[in-house]
Amino acid sequence: MLTRRRTLAGLVFVAGLAARPAAASSWRILGRCKLDLAQEADRIEVGPGRGRCTTLRLQVAGAAVRFERLVIRFGNGDSIEVPLGDLVPAGGRSRAIDMPGSRRRIQAVEMAYRGAGAGDQAEVTLLGL
């Protein structure tokens, strides 16, 4: 009887561990923003309950964008500036941007950018992992 309980408890524990990596390894949409490429900066607000992550990525649609830098603002008032210099083509994604420390709640991401080619508008999606 005791062996059955231990076996059952072990199976429940292993099943719980197996379910976590799949959920933790998918990119989630944190927010979106339409960029007017005649401007040079914009901001994506991250809704409550969506911004806990360790890695970010930008996905672009509509027109190519050269991201100069990001300022990532956290829920506790801290912020970090990340120089990029990444050219992201329409339909492409930026490199993964790892943030220092453990999972933190992101409140907003400010982007400094330039248009890079045809088109005067782009849509940027902020992804988190």
Q: Enumerate domains of the chain plus CATH numbers.
A: 27-128 (2.70.9.30)
Span 44-102, pLDDT tens digits? 999 777 778 889 999 999 999 999 999 999 988 999 999 999 999 999 999 999 988 77
pLDDT, position 25: 67
Q: What is the 3-class SS of 76-100, one letter each residue?
A: CCCEEEEEEEEEECCCCECCCEECC
* Structure-token pair, residue 81: 């500036």
Q: Can you give the pTM of this predicted structure? A: 0.76
pLDDT tens per residue, range 2-22: 455 444 444 444 444 444 344
* List of residues 6+ apart from 35 with CB closer than 8 A: 42, 65, 111, 113, 121, 122, 123, 124
